[in-house]
Structure 1
Amino acid sequence: MTQQRDMQQLWASEKYRVMYVHQNSYNTIRHFMAQPDGTLQQLQQLLDNALKQQPSRGSAINTFDHIWGYFKKYATPKEKEHAQQLRNHFQNADELWSFLAKLAVHYEVPYLKNSTLLLPYL
């Protein structure tokens, strides 16, 4: 059971980084995680392969939208406006992740605070 828990924790921490760099890999790993017989080593290999990909503008916006979903009900009007501006005038993924990391801290979302995508911005 420990390996399964370790796999779940690893996937939870990496899922948004994988989503950002490669949506197809994200879907593959999500399917892999639903199988009962996968190993931690296999998961690590899938993650390593996925993270070699180059992200696109579309994948950044998609990932931003997914993470923004944690905040849209609680965000202030100013935060909502800023999120919309970042999304509509996307230039730099660092701006997206920095904004979301600040919200993760402000709104105390441990799941996101443990995300390897946001960790560098905390």
Structure 2
Amino acid sequence: MTGAQETWAYHKYWVMGHSQAHYNALRLLFKGDAWSAEKESELHRLLAEAGTIAPTGATQRTAFQHMWGYFKKIANEEEREAYKEMIADEASYADLTEFLVQMITNYQPKYLVNSKFYEDEGF
């Protein structure tokens, strides 16, 4: 994995939680051509810009659902029920963030352990 790919992997769910448009732009940036100085500059510009956008319920929900994909097959019934209740209750996003951080701590999926979401404990 290149430095740019590692940077993107680290920021992926954090960006998704801030801006779907920036997430999509970054995904497209990594398609196709070889990496260049221009792409590197665009990567950092988009990450900085995404950080200025406040997360919304919709962007957070999307990020939560994607992160839950790492746990849906390994979570126990109690964890599955807790997730279902929290994702249905939009007012509990702070609780859902805490829940997912605890799931990452417990199950240690490498991709999420090494993410900005986990390091910063949320968006």
Q: TM-score, normalised by structure 2?
A: 0.87
Any runs of at least 4 consecutive aligned residues in structure 1 with deviations exceeding 3 A, and if so which?
none
Aligned length: 119
Q: Tell me the alpha carbon deviations over residues 36-77 of structure 1, each in whole angstroms, 9 at most, x when there is no partner.
A: 234333311111012211211111111110000000001000
**Which residue of 35, 38, 59 corresponds with 1:37?**
35
Shift of 1:101: 1.4
- % identity of equivalent residues: 29
Gaps of 5+ in 1: none
Q: Tell me the alpha carbon deviations over residues 56-115 of structure 1, each in whole angstroms, 9 at most, x when there is no partner.
A: 111111111000000000100000010011101122433222211111121121210111
- 1:58 matched to 2:55? The reply is no
The correspondence of residues 56-95 of structure 1 with structure 2, limited to 5 A, is 56-95=56-95
Gaps of 5+ in 2: none
RMSD: 1.7
Q: TM-score, normalised by structure 1?
A: 0.88
Q: Higher RCO, 1 or 2 (CA under 8 Å, sep at least 6)?
A: 2
Q: Decide which moves more: 110-119 or 32-41.
A: 32-41
* Alpha-carbon separation, structure 2, partners of 1:50 and 1:120: 15
* Alpha-carbon separation, structure 2, partners of 1:11 and 1:98: 23
